[in-house]
Amino acid sequence: MTEPDAGTGPGTYPVPGAAPRPGAGGGVLRWLHRARRMSGRERWRRYTVSTMYFLALFEAVLIGVWLDNTRDDMGPAPFAIVFVLLLGHLTMQIKLSLSAPFLGAAGPTGRLLALHLAVVSALLAAALALRAADRLDPTELGPFLVWVLMFAAGPLVLALPLRRGGVVVAGLCAATLLAALVIGPRENWLLTTAITTALGAPFIGITYRASAWGVKLVDELDDARAVQARLAVAEERLRFGRDLHDVLGRNLAVMALKSELAVQLAQRGRPEAADQMAEVQRVAQESQREIRAVVRGYRAADLHAELAGARAVLRAAGVDCEVDDTDLTAPGRRGEVPERVQSALAWVVREGTTNVLRHADARMCTVSLRVADGGAQLVMDNDGAPDAEPGTPADGAGLTGLRERLAAVGGTLSAQRRTGGRFRLAARIDLEAS
């Protein structure tokens, strides 16, 4: 009977073609598994750093082949010196690249930069000295100078500010080519070396800089996405808080009014107290339904229901309320106002009614709705505003929420105290913009 694999559960057997488990297989599979678990920004960073390692390895291969071809001409001692300087040069290349601010580091220290320039200068000086001692042919010296200057330009431009790095690279190239010109001979190889260096050094420098700049852009994009997600959460919290305020504000005011009336009726032994408490129960149940709808994000206020509810609630509170919505209820006119506009205006009615119940000592309130000149305008007037300078604007959490709702459909809101202790809440929505 076939035994199950070790490490699997009882009764389980290997499935042909199944994906390898994490950690299973060779080192390549483990590396691929880790790579799949990396974030996008980490993958791009690893790719950029790996590219820099590859360029350093490519330079090592080129100069290694060059050293192997020139070993006999240089002699053992000069060969050893150049070899050691080359190892130091490659090490400094990598350390300087990884210290770049674009890769998240603090930037190179002056000591690291000076050491890198010293090693590069010593390597170039050693090659020029071998040429002066006639141990290197001009055709052998040219490629070496080009490779060292070209690959040294990348980390310098990457780790330093662009202008300063460009000046350092240009100075290093100019000094090296000038020394080669002095040593001679002045043949075509020197012109070829100068042209190749003038093209190769900027190319490698820009390549390094662009790669690291890409890392920075990916980091900023990832951070921007995180900020966008936090803003979306914050916006949803504001919407939820605004909806809860709008839903509970009026209903709690109604419940407080009805319960107070029920207490007074009960103290007088009136049977109508039970009716008032039944109304409180109905409003509480309605509030529960609306809160559940708010949580699901599917609730939309109905303008006609809000107008009727405002009139009934205000009259029950002893406020004479008149509603004029003939422009909306006239035959053929209701379809002129889109549902999203009606919903926004319904929230204005609800908030205005809540404010009258909570903050005003009103005896009269009028609500008028007009549809004309390509816009829908809702005006609520009451005579219970507290004493204040006429024209003084009013503000609050509810009014701020209303402005946000109206702005979403191209509308505006004004709330001002007027003469005679009156308060006007006016909303206008451009039907064409909505």
Reported as a pLDDT band with limits 50, 70 and 90, residue 426 is very high
Pairwise CA distance, residues 428 & 375, whole Å: 7
- pLDDT at position 37: 61
Residue that the structure tokens 């339904």 belong to: 289
pLDDT in tens, 144-187: 898 889 888 888 888 888 888 889 889 999 998 888 888 876 67
pLDDT at 230 over 80: no
Gap between the Cα atoms of 222 and 129, Å rounded: 51
C-alpha distances (whole Å) from 423 to each of 250, 274, 385 are 18, 35, 6
Which has the minimum average pLDDT: 15-19, 186-190, 260-264, 427-431?
Answer: 15-19
Q: How confident is the model at residue 427 (pLDDT cuts 50, 70, 90)?
A: very high
Q: Provide the mean pLDDT of the chain.
A: 79
pTM for this one? 0.47
Mean pLDDT highest for which of 6-10, 28-32, 424-428? 424-428
Let me know if 160 is exposed, middle or buried by CB neighbors in 10 A (0-12, 13-18, 19+): buried
Helix boundaries (H) for 21-75? 27-37, 40-74
User: What pLDDT, in 10s, does the model give residues 258-305?
Assistant: 888 888 888 888 888 888 888 888 888 888 887 777 666 555 667 888
pLDDT of 39 over the 90 cut = no
Handedness of CA 195, 200, 201, 207 (dihedral sign): positive
